[in-house]
Amino acid sequence: MTSARAIVLFGHGSRDPLWRLPMETVAARLRTLRPGTPVRCAYLELESPGLPEATADVVGGGATQVTIVPMFLGTGRHAREDLPAIVDSLRAAHPAVEFVLQKPVGEDARVLDLIAHIALE
């Protein structure tokens, strides 16, 4: 049975396949924490799937709410401009689906505190 909610982790993408490992590890942990919730990784460029394809996959599986988690430490042009434009097009393509666009993970004080603690070790 598919959950009505899905989570898509969104990153920049890279030609280096090892770049994906941290994001895929977060996705695997999410699947363990919420076994019934579909979780996908999506990329802006250089890798597949893109956000439209990952979203179509979970919506086709029955998701009526898609939470998009930008996996960016900084809020550059991609997070400020490109991503909101893509999400607007997703909303137009899937009007019955609620899209929740979270802030980039680097804007979360918990992430920044954890990085600071790691640096102090």
To which residue do tokens 């979360």 refer?
A: 108
Which distant-in-sequence residues (6+ apart) come within 8 Å of 82 by Cβ? 44
| Token pair for 96 | 């019955």
Q: The tokens of 97 are what?
A: 């689906």
Per-residue pLDDT at 47: 87
Cα torsion angle, 50, 56, 57, 63, sign: positive
Look at the domain 5-120 and name its fold. Answer: Rossmann fold (3.40.50)
Every domain of the chain and the residues it spans: 5-120
Joined tokens for residue 80: 């400020």
Give the pLDDT mean for 90-103: 95
Please give the pLDDT value at position 78.
72
CB 84 within 8 A of CB 101: yes
For the record, the structure tokens of 85 come out as: 């434009």
Predicted TM-score (pTM) of this structure: 0.91
Residue-wise pLDDT for 108-120, tens only, equals 999 999 999 999 9
